[in-house]
Amino acid sequence: MDNLINDKDNSLNDLKYEDAVKRLEEIVTILERGEASLDLSMDLFREGVALSSFCERRLQTMKEEMVKLVDASGSVEPIDGVE
């Protein structure tokens, strides 16, 4: 069970979105089983929160980049429900 947040040669900045989602899924599975110790569960929870924040920021960055690219072409169309 790799901890993507605490590995010395792995940082959030170098992490791929897909890898973060995969690790989040692993964490959820482990926590849902309820077999981990309290300390391990808390460590996993902290890692999950960090990964979730990373994913949210990454998606927001991509969304902003797409808007800029569309703005550059002059054909922005608002999408209902998307800020």
Distance CA 9, CA 58 (A): 20
User: pLDDT tens track of the chain, all 83 residues?
Assistant: 566 555 534 577 789 999 999 999 999 999 999 999 999 999 999 999 999 999 999 999 999 988 888 876 666 666 555 55
Distance CA 70, CA 76 (A): 6
Q: Can you give the pTM of this predicted structure?
A: 0.72
Domain positions in the chain: 12-71
Whether the CB-CB separation of 51 and 32 falls below 8 Å is answered with: no
